[in-house]
Structure 1
Amino acid sequence: MKVLVISDSHGDQKTVEEIIRKEKPDLSLHLGDFGRDLKEGISVRGNCDGLSHFPLKRILELKGHRIMMSHGHKEGVKRGLNNLYYHAKEQGVNIVLFGHTHLPLQERIGDILFLNPGSVSLPPPGRKGSYLILELEQGKIEAQFEQIMD
């Protein structure tokens, strides 16, 4: 199963649509701060999404993986992953997808894999926008970060 994971697109609908056309995922996940660019897939609310009707967290079961989606701002991910780790342990997940920092990250803490796709449209200075492709199979996960070329 091919899963597209994006975050922090901040209203850049054109780029999001181009990525979806290019990647042709089975499922699209957005980790918040989307503005008005989300037309399909599953999402959570970020700190810039105001009174959005989307939840702050979601738990998904995909191909034998228990996955938590969170923007990460409520867990203070800019200061570290400890709070997010404890939330993940409470939920019994093995994969955590989060955004907010605008920086791509792959880190394993214990038996939990943490993945941040970075920002589609507002990367830090000197970096390119990025997103994540997950290939999920029963008991197996492959994560590939992709850069957005100008």
Structure 2
Amino acid sequence: MTKNRKILVISDTHGLVLPLKEIFNHHSDVTAIFHCGDSELMNFDPILKNIHIVRGNCDYDRTLPNELFIKIGQHKIYMTHGHMHGVKSSLDKLHNSAQQKGAEIALYGHSHIAKASLINGILLVNPGSIAYPRGRKEKTYAIITLNKDKNHQVDFYLASTHEPLNLACDEC
């Protein structure tokens, strides 16, 4: 039996390094780590080693890509920051980009709002922000458990305590 894989998703850390280290240490069992942009760190920063990361609107390092398409086993994941997709007003452009890439999951940031939505079979996840959350006071990140049947589980966590946050997925 194949073990389900877990991925850690963070975004909009805006220069914070210590909370990142704490989160990485607490969740050392994850298969991969994704940062959806606005790290405000340089690509060569040691904290970003072995992390899938994209460039956000507050990132000045032009070596960071605007988008990534990553395969984790059989799972196809599309990631972008979201500012070029207008995610603050609609998830349609993000969904279309993920669909064009053949992704089953789209990861994004920019709005600083922790949210998961299932739209026409594509799971769209924003982990929120560990620096400046919006829509709630809690600083958050997400863990996605990738399931073979593509019925993925999204869990949001409080950055301060690493405790789960009861946050429902829209239309999941």
Classify the secondary structure of the residue corresponding to 2:95: helix
| 3-state SS of 1:118 partner | coil
The whole-number CA distance in structure 2 between the counterparts of 1:122 and 1:101 is 10
C-alpha distance after superposition, 1:94-150 (max 9, x if no partner):
110000000011111101110100001111275111000112243342211101227
8 A Cα contact 2:77 2:107, kept in partner: yes
For residue 149 of structure 1, the aligned residue among 144, 151, 160 is 160
Stretches of 4+ moved more than 6 A in 1?
none
Further displaced range: 34-43 or 106-115? 34-43
- In the superposition, the TM-score normalised over structure 1's length comes to 0.93
Post-superposition offset of 1:2: 2.1
Q: Which residue of 2 aligns with 1:47?
A: 57
| Letter in structure 2 aligned against 1:83 | K
1:136 aligns with 2:141: no
Tell me the CA shift for residue 42 of structure 1: 1.0
What is the letter of the counterpart of residue 142 of structure 1? Q
User: How high is the sequence identity, in percent, across the aligned residues?
Assistant: 35
User: Is the strand fraction higher in 1 or 2?
Assistant: 1
SS of aligned partner of 1:28: strand
User: Superposed, which structure 2 residues align to 1:16-35 within 5 Å?
Assistant: 16-24=20-28, 25-35=30-40
Q: How big is the shift at 1:26?
A: 2.5
Q: Letter of the 1:39 partner, please give it.
A: L
Q: Is the 8 A contact 1:63 1:136 kept in 2?
A: no
TM-score under structure 2 length normalisation: 0.81
CA distance in 2, matches of 1:2, 1:51: 28
- SS of equivalent to 2:70: strand
TM-superposed deviation, 1:27: 1.4
Asked whether 1:11 is paired with 2:15, we answer yes
| Residue identity opposite 2:22 in structure 1 | E
Mapped to 2, the partners of 1:44 and 1:90 lie a distance apart of: 19
Query: What's the C-alpha RMSD, in Å, of the aligned pairs?
Result: 1.6
Count of residues paired in the alignment: 150
Listed as ranges, the gaps of 5+ residues in structure 1 are none
Alpha-carbon separation, structure 2, partners of 1:125 and 1:9: 16
1:57-92 CA-to-partner distances (Å, cap 9, x unmatched) read 100111311110010000010011011111112111
Which runs of 5 or more structure 2 residues have no equivalent in the other structure?
162-172
2:94 to 84, 108, 117: 84
Q: Which residue number in structure 2 is paired with residue 98 of structure 1?
A: 108
Alignment map for 1:53-92 (pairs within 5 Å):
53-92=63-102
Distance 2:160 2:135 in 1: 15
